Amino acid sequence: MIATEDLVTRVSAKARATSTTLPDTATAEEVASAEAALGFALPPLLASLYREVANGGYGPDYQLLPLVGPGRTVLSEYQSERSASARSETPYWPAGVLPILDWGCAMYAAVDCLSETATVLLFEPNAMEDDGAAVWFVDAGSLAEWLETWLAGTGWYREDAYEDDDVAEPLPWDFAASRITE
């Protein structure tokens, strides 16, 4: 088990070392307001990152989205994706799955806020046809594992990852279909 305080401290150190300017942290009130708007709580580790490290602006490649504020945020992207999914002939966005990082090309890293471990998922919609569940993959069993991968520089998203035989490819998310229909 990874100690949350230690992990947040190490994430903060790397964020400060790799980002020239970090946004201010989100306040406890902003986190509570976002949770109220979402209708569910953020996993404790994710809430700690926003309250203690910064309101986004660090992390793998494209960096975490801000939780709240002007422009694109975790809150606005979640609401947008849920709304578009509800209108779609092929629903694709499960309740409680929060986009935290935009990989580009419509792909997201997302946290399953309803799972006990805060599973990190990869949303890859570019090949979606008749099954919205087929676009979801498990990137890491927990948010803590996902952050450890970033800290260690061993993620599948690294530019040279194709050279390593031991880089784990994201696997299909078995719960996608049932969670989309909830």
Tens of pLDDT along 1-35?
457 889 999 999 999 999 888 999 999 999 999 99
Tens of pLDDT along 134-164?
899 999 999 999 999 999 988 777 665 455 5
pTM for this entry: 0.91
Percent over 90 (pLDDT), the chain? 71
- Output the domain CATH number for residue 65: 3.40.1580.10
Structure-token pair, residue 152: 């260690």
Strand 136-140 and strand 171-172: the pairing is antiparallel
Chain centre to alpha carbon of residue 42: 11
- Residue 98's domain comprises 4-180
- Burial of 120 from C-beta contacts in 10 A (0-12 / 13-18 / 19+): buried
Cα gap 131→146, rounded to integer Å: 26
Cα gap 162→174, rounded to integer Å: 25
| Contact call for residues 78 and 65 (beta carbons, < 8 A) | no
Domain count, the chain: 1
